């Protein structure tokens, strides 16, 4: 009895110390020190609005792309017999291994003004570095593996029998994917999307290197937190942090909303 | 012929799953492919369904060359050992799957699903999910799902292999009755000779990727083509170079000139039958099967000396 409650206390205490209290403090500190109106004022500044828009825009491009890529990649690794699978499987983990700052620098090397393709894009009116495409690329890179990593074990777990059964009943490959495979792996996909989203909106290092942090243009929320703080604008920093926390909460809330009601 | 397999072979790396195989399955028949694990029986079934591609040879279904036809257009029903239930769909949705794919009308689907649910005796279970069913119920659902699209042939891969003994026996009888009712050409794979004898009207015995014998159950049991088939269809004793079934061993208390002496090791009562484990003077074991009445009359006990003789035996060339 005592052991069980003790264990719970330790687990909850750990969670509180590391997660609940710091996150709660952001909200509490922001509101109590500066007042709701000052925070609202900071949030509605045009630069802050544009940072929020940019963050959401980048996430809305990167997350769907990485979701589709992750599912296709997982299917390729688990369901096909192409040579070099082990190597590919390792390569997709590269974004976990490489420091985000390094990712940013490699993007500059390739797409920057003096990079391999950089000048070509600039000449055609689509500069990549110090512009939205660069931020999107950096975000895609750092959040690449999550969906694949979540889906691969689920695909292995469900096996091929249901898909084979659907095939013998007359379903084409496409129909089998939509009606059997995707519904079977959906929780892996959803969880992968949550992780990808969290990483996409929260990425700092890689984005900081490629964005140039032009206020009102290439500044995301995470960059705003940093620059406001550096510029002795704590209200701005806390307001941006609050928005980031709110987006994270929304993501978790949506995931819980679509979770299965069925007990089994 | 419902199914013709001509010269189909299949290897997985160094392993030969099927040596060139020829097989004809008659319309409306109920055929068992029987063999030990690794004999290639499941591979053969999967090649017929198109789930596996043969390296050589061709497969004809209802007279049409299906060798290059993808599995989803072969019009076969396939039932898997572990049911392959669509876990995220209700029983009714599982059964309706093939009809929805074929874009049948809602009314037709509803009617057909209701008919099939009662055919497989799952009335009242239409709204349940597979996880809420027992193994036997799941397998009946899988059968209804396969039958829904009126396949040319029904293929079952160890359909009762994952079920416990009693359910397995019920389902066997039920499959036999179902076949008499719907008459669809059915081929099932099993490693259980009793199951094959009980359900099928033709047995195909396979070993090491080859067909050893094809025939009616009594035929294969009474006239096995070789030692492997004889051994696989039931227990056998080896006496000299002859093979004898346990029930073909006669036990006497007195010698009669053509009997051999033997010592009783163990007497095991199995209800109606009694198994007597014997040892010949040369040390070789012999297992005899006698009736309970016979056993009472002989009053055998371990250590007794008796006299035995095979009342029927077979000798295969090249043994």
Q: What is the DSSP string of A106-165?
A: HHHHHHSTTSTTHHHHHHTT---TTSHHHHHHHHHHHTSHHHHHHHHHHHHHH-SHHHHH
Q: Is B206 in contact with B35 (CB distance < 8 Å)?
A: yes
Q: Span A36-47, mean pLDDT?
A: 89
pLDDT at position A29, please? 79
Secondary structure, 3-state, A149-216? HHHHHHHHHHCCHHHHHHHHHCCCHHHHHHHHHHHHHHHHHHHHHHHHHHHHHHCCHHHHHHHCCCCC
Q: Do A170 and B132 touch (CB under 8 A)?
A: no
Alpha carbons A112 and A134: distance in angstroms, whole number: 9
Alpha carbons A151 and B67: distance in angstroms, whole number: 34
Strand partners, B306: B262
Alpha-carbon dihedral sign for residues A115, A119, A124, A127: positive
pLDDT at position A205, please? 92
Residues of A in contact with B74 (CB under 8 A): 168
What is the residue-averaged pLDDT of chain B?
93
Give the A:B interface size as CB pairs under 8 Å.
63
Q: Span B80-98, mean pLDDT?
A: 96
Residues of B in contact with A180 (CB under 8 A): 86
| Residue A16 per-residue DSSP state | I
**pLDDT beyond 80 at B192:** yes
- A160: contact with B, CB 8 A cutoff: no
Q: What is the ipTM of this complex?
A: 0.86
Q: Do A169 and B145 touch (CB under 8 A)?
A: yes
B87: phi then psi, degrees, rounded to nearest 5 = -65, -25
pLDDT at position B230, please? 95
- A81: contact with B, CB 8 A cutoff: no
What is the percent of chain B with per-residue pLDDT over 70, rounded to a whole number?
Answer: 99
Residues of A in contact with B133 (CB under 8 A): none
Instruction: Give tens-digit pLDDT for A159-173.
Output: 999 999 999 999 999
Coil, helix or strand at residue B256: coil
Which of A162, A168, A264 lies nearest to residue B86, judging by beta carbons? A162
pTM of the predicted structure, to 2 decimals: 0.84
Residues of B in contact with A166 (CB under 8 A): 86, 97
Instruction: Give tens-digit pLDDT for A227-238.
Output: 998 999 888 998
pLDDT at position B51, please? 95
Instruction: Give tens-digit pLDDT for B261-275.
Output: 999 999 999 888 999
pLDDT at position B318, please? 59
A92-96, A160-164, A174-178, range with the lowest pLDDT: A92-96
Q: Do A169 and B129 touch (CB under 8 A)?
A: no
What is the residue-averaged pLDDT of chain A?
89
Alpha carbons A189 and A80: distance in angstroms, whole number: 19
CB proximity list for A96: less than 8 A, separation 6 or greater: A145
B122: phi then psi, degrees, rounded to nearest 5 = -120, 30
Q: Span B113-141, mean pLDDT?
A: 95
> What is the length of chain A?
264
- For B232-238, the CB contacts below 8 A with 24+ separation are B232/B34, B232/B35, B232/B36, B232/B193, B232/B205, B232/B207, B233/B193, B233/B197, B233/B205, B234/B193, B235/B287, B237/B285, B237/B286, B237/B287, B237/B288, B238/B284
Which of A168, A172, A180 lies nearest to residue B78, judging by beta carbons? A168
Q: Is B197 in contact with B176 (CB distance < 8 Å)?
A: no
Q: Do B84 and A184 touch (CB under 8 A)?
A: no
pLDDT at position A264, please? 39
Residues of A in contact with B97 (CB under 8 A): 166, 169, 171, 179
- A264: contact with B, CB 8 A cutoff: yes
Architecture of domain A35-263: Orthogonal Bundle (1.10)
Nearest Cα of chain A lies from the Cα of B138 at a distance, in angstroms, of: 13
pLDDT at position B18, please? 96
Nearest-CA residue of chain B relative to A159? B84
Of A8, A40, A54, A29, nearest to A214 by C-alpha is A54
Of A229, A203, A256, nearest to A26 by C-alpha is A229
Q: Do B71 and A179 touch (CB under 8 A)?
A: no
Q: Span A137-164, mean pLDDT?
A: 95
- A262: contact with B, CB 8 A cutoff: yes
Alpha carbons B201 and B32: distance in angstroms, whole number: 8
A213: phi then psi, degrees, rounded to nearest 5 = 50, 50
Residues of A numbered 172-191 whose beta carbons fall under 8 angstroms of chain B's beta carbons: which are they?
Answer: 172, 175, 179-180, 183-184
Of A218, A149, A219, A162, nearest to A189 by C-alpha is A149
pLDDT at position B266, please? 93
Q: Do A167 and B87 touch (CB under 8 A)?
A: no
pLDDT at position A36, please? 86
Residue A13: count other Cβ atoms within 10 Å of its Cβ.
Answer: 10
**pLDDT beyond 70 at A122:** yes
- Domains of chain A, residue spans: 1-34, 35-263
Q: Is B300 in contact with B306 (CB distance < 8 Å)?
A: yes
Q: Span B165-170, mean pLDDT?
A: 88
Residues of B in contact with A179 (CB under 8 A): 97
**Confidence band for A16, pLDDT divided at 50, 70 and 90:** confident
**pLDDT beyond 60 at A215:** yes
Helix axes A21-43, A234-258, angle to 10 degrees: 110
Alpha carbons B66 and B59: distance in angstroms, whole number: 6
Nearest-CA residue of chain B relative to A187? B88
**pLDDT beyond 80 at A263:** no
Residues of B in contact with A185 (CB under 8 A): none
Q: Is A99 in contact with A93 (CB distance < 8 Å)?
A: no
Residues of B in contact with A168 (CB under 8 A): 49-51, 71-72, 74, 76-78, 146
Q: Do B84 and A179 touch (CB under 8 A)?
A: no
**pLDDT beyond 80 at A241:** yes
Coil, helix or strand at residue B263: strand
Q: Do B78 and A175 touch (CB under 8 A)?
A: no
Residue A262: count other Cβ atoms within 10 Å of its Cβ.
Answer: 9
Of B41, B36, B32, B38, nearest to B8 by C-alpha is B41
Coil, helix or strand at residue A67: helix
Q: Span B126-140, mean pLDDT?
A: 95
What is the percent of chain A with per-residue pLDDT over 70, rounded to a whole number?
Answer: 97
Q: Is B20 in contact with B69 (CB distance < 8 Å)?
A: no
Q: Do A169 and B87 touch (CB under 8 A)?
A: no
Q: Which residues of B touch A (CB under 8 A)?
A: 49-51, 71-78, 80, 82, 84-88, 97-98, 101-102, 129, 131-132, 142, 145-146, 148-149
What H or E segment, with its residue span, contains residue B273? Answer: strand B273-279
Coil, helix or strand at residue B128: coil
A56-60, A216-220, A222-226, range with the lowest pLDDT: A216-220
Compute, in degrees rounded to 10, the torsion defined by CA atoms A207, A208, A213, A219: 40
Nearest Cα of chain B lies from the Cα of A144 at a distance, in angstroms, of: 28
Residues of B in contact with A175 (CB under 8 A): 101
Q: Is B62 in contact with B142 (CB distance < 8 Å)?
A: no
Helix axes B165-182, B106-119, angle to 10 degrees: 130
**pLDDT beyond 70 at B9:** yes
Q: Span A131-142, mean pLDDT?
A: 93
**pLDDT beyond 80 at A250:** yes
Instruction: Give tens-digit pLDDT for B31-55.
Output: 999 999 999 999 999 999 999 999 9
Nearest Cα of chain B lies from the Cα of A84 at a distance, in angstroms, of: 18
**pLDDT beyond 50 at B319:** no
Residues of B in contact with A172 (CB under 8 A): 72
More confident residue, A55 or A129: A55
**pLDDT beyond 60 at A261:** no
Q: Is B221 in contact with B234 (CB distance < 8 Å)?
A: yes
Alpha carbons B233 and B196: distance in angstroms, whole number: 10
Nearest-CA residue of chain A relative to B156? A165
Coil, helix or strand at residue B35: coil
Residue B114: count other Cβ atoms within 10 Å of its Cβ.
Answer: 14
């Amino acid at each position: 009895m005592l052991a069980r409650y003790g264990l719970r206390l330790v687990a909850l205490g750990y969670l509180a110390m590391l997660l609940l209290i710091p996150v709660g403090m952001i909200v509490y500190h922001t509101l109590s020190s500066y007042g709701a109106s000052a925070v609202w004022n900071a949030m509605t500044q045009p630069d802050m609005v544009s940072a929020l828009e940019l963050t959401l825009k980048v996430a809305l491009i990167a997350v769907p792309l990485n979701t589709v890529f992750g599912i296709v990649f997982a299917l390729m690794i688990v369901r096909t017999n192409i040579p070099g699978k082990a190597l590919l499987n390792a390569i997709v983990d590269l974004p976990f291994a490489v420091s985000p700052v390094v990712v940013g620098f490699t993007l500059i090397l390739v797409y920057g003004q003096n990079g391999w393709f950089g000048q070509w894009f600039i000449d055609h009116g689509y500069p990549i570095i110090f512009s939205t495409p660069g931020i999107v690329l950096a975000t895609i890179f750092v959040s690449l593996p999550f969906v694949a990593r979540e889906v691969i074990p689920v695909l292995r777990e469900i096996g091929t029998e249901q898909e084979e059964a659907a095939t013998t009943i007359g379903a084409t490959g496409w129909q089998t994917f939509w009606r059997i495979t995707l519904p079977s792996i959906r929780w892996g996909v959803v969880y992968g999307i949550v992780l990808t989203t969290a990483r996409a909106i929260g990425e700092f290092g890689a984005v900081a290197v490629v964005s140039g942090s032009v206020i009102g243009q290439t500044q995301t929320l995470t960059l705003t937190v940093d620059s406001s703080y550096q510029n002795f604008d704590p209200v701005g920093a806390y307001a941006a942090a609050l928005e980031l926390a709110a987006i994270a909460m929304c993501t978790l809330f949506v995931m819980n909303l679509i979770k299965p009601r069925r007990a089994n | 012929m419902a199914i013709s397999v001509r010269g189909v072979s299949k290897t997985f790396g160094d392993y030969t799953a099927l040596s060139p195989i020829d097989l004809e399955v008659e319309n409306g028949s109920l055929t068992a492919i029987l063999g030990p694990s690794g004999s290639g029986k499941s591979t053969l079934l999967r090649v017929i369904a198109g789930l596996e591609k043969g390296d050589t040879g061709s497969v004809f279904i209802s007279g049409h060359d299906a060798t290059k036809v993808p599995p989803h257009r072969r019009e076969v029903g396939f039932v898997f050992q572990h049911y392959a239930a669509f876990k995220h769909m209700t029983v009714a949705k599982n059964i309706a799957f093939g009809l929805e794919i074929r874009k049948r009308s809602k009314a037709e689907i509803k009617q057909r699903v209701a008919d099939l649910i009662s055919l497989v005796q799952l009335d009242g279970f239409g709204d349940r999910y597979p996880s809420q069913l027992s193994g036997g119920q799941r397998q009946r659902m899988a059968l209804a799902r396969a039958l829904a699209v009126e396949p040319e042939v029904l293929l079952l891969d160890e359909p009762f292999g994952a079920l416990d003994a009693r359910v397995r026996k019920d389902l066997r009888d039920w499959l036999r009755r179902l076949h008499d009712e719907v008459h669809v050409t059915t081929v099932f794979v099993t490693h259980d000779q009793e199951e094959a004898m009980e359900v099928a009207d033709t047995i195909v015995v396979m070993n090491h990727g080859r067909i050893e014998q094809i025939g009616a159950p009594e035929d294969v049991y009474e006239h096995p083509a070789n030692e492997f088939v004889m051994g696989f269809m039931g227990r056998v004793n080896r006496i000299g170079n002859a093979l004898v079934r346990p029930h073909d061993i006669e036990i006497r208390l007195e010698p009669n000139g053509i009997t051999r002496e033997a010592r009783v090791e163990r007497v095991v009562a199995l209800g109606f039958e009694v198994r007597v484990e014997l040892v010949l003077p040369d040390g070789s074991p012999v297992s005899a099967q006698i009736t309970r009445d016979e056993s009472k009359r002989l009053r055998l006990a371990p250590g007794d000396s008796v006299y035995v003789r095979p009342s029927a035996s077979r000798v295969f060339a090249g043994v």
